[in-house]
Structure 1
């Protein structure tokens, strides 16, 4: 599909990668960009249509799909990380439940709600923002890693089920980006603007997977190493 003249809906679009997706879509000539956030007043980018949306609230997801019936590209960007370990964090269950509600169930709910909308317009595309941690687990982000691994599997399943409707499902895998989520992490970080631009180009090319940086590509290669990267201490 072409981004020019498309109608794009982006979750978590008030900052970080979501904001970069909104800017990139406008720059690529999208006819309309819906920028969704829990607080629509936090969406300040000119040229977009703010939408009040919490992806963990089914009634808000359904309302968004009803109100935005012209969407041709859905970007499931909203995500949270609580920095919990499986055994060392006393609130690990609560952290995991929150992360799964947003990262996994939120993505699932949005995809299910907008699938009929996309089908009406010829299929369109869905972008699911995943992570290099879909394929391995960091001790300081174990529950987050689990939620992204589940969402990778979800993306693969959605791709199978939506193929017959002509809907492209593109999984974006990226390591650390220069956003609020990684503010306390040192080291190389990808530019969210560059990642968004790269991903939209991949959608136009019909690609089902985007490996957005060198770290992510290294992790993917490590899956077939011996021993596999995901079995090694981090």
Structure 2
């Protein structure tokens, strides 16, 4: 897919990887970049988002009416990036199940509903591309993070089936896996982290090259390889 001149929509665009993706798209000559967030006012404080090509949009990926309104407004999108996500619900065995359900609503049902709304838009534009920002924890068994892992595993499965279903309309579906990225979500963890700008570059490189999967760091590559081994190899 040619990014220069293309119109893109990024969810969770007000910080972290979302903000880096907006900056990366602008640097590569994208046309309109719809920067979506629950509070679009939070998009304005990001320096790169002051570019006149950036259009802040109010979007709650857990709210169907909000998604439909955005799909009507951004009916010229060539590239959809499902980046918005939450974490912290904890263990599925011991933590509050309502928090786990809320995590699933954002991390799984959010991308599902967004792609359902935008697949016809992408088709009308010639196919385009849809990106799912997943996680190496889609594959890992990490005590205390069962709710997040389950939500991302479900999103990974959906990404794979969506890829097969949308191939005939010419839509490239890209799944992105990474371990720990230097964002607010994992600021409390003392572990090696990949820079958000580097991940954004790898995602956009993959879109431009027509690649269907991004393994953005070492943990993602190790865990992908471990899928072929015994289950214990997925424990971290």
For Structure 1 versus Structure 2, the TM-score category normalised by the shorter chain is over 0.9
Are residue 129 (structure 1) and residue 133 (structure 2) matched? yes
Q: Does 1:181 align with 2:180?
A: no
Q: Distance in 2 between matches of 1:194 and 1:124?
A: 23
Output the CA distance in 1 between the equivalents of 2:141 and 2:14. 28
Q: Which residue does the alignment assign to 1:6?
A: 6
Q: Would you say 1:172 and 2:176 are equivalent positions?
A: yes
- Structure 1 counterpart of 2:78: 72
Q: Give the structure 2 partner of residue 27 of structure 1.
A: 27
Task: Give the ranges of 4+ consecutive aligned residues of structure 1 lying more than 3 Å apart after TM superposition.
Answer: none
- The aligned counterpart of 2:99 is 95
Hey, what does 1:229 align to over in structure 2? Answer: 233
SS of the residue 1:140 aligns to: coil
1:99-146 deviation digits (Å, cap 9, x = unpaired): 110110000000000001010110000000000001112112110000
**SS of the residue 2:50 aligns to:** coil
> Could you tell me how far apart the structure 2 residues matched to 1:161 and 1:220 are?
23
Cα gap change, 1:102 to 1:226, in 2 (>3 Å): closer
The superposition leaves residues 135-174 of structure 1 with CA deviations (integer Å, 9 ceiling, x where unpaired) of 1121121100000000000001101110110000000001
| TM-score, normalised via structure 1 length | 0.96
Instruction: Provide, for residues 168-192 of structure 1, a one-character-per-residue CA deviation record: whole Å limited to 9, x for no partner.
Output: 0000001100000001001100100
Report the equivalent of 1:58: 64
CA RMSD of aligned residues (A): 1.0
Shift of 1:88: 2.5
Structure 1 equivalent of residue 90 of structure 2: 84
Shift of 1:229: 2.1
TM-score by length of 2: 0.95
CA distance in 2, matches of 1:29, 1:121: 18
Tell me if the contact between 1:119 and 1:166 (Cα under 8 Å) persists in the aligned partners: yes
> Is there any run of 5+ residues in structure 1 with no aligned partner, and where?
none
What number of residue pairs does the alignment pair up? Answer: 230
Who is 1:37 aligned against?
A: 37
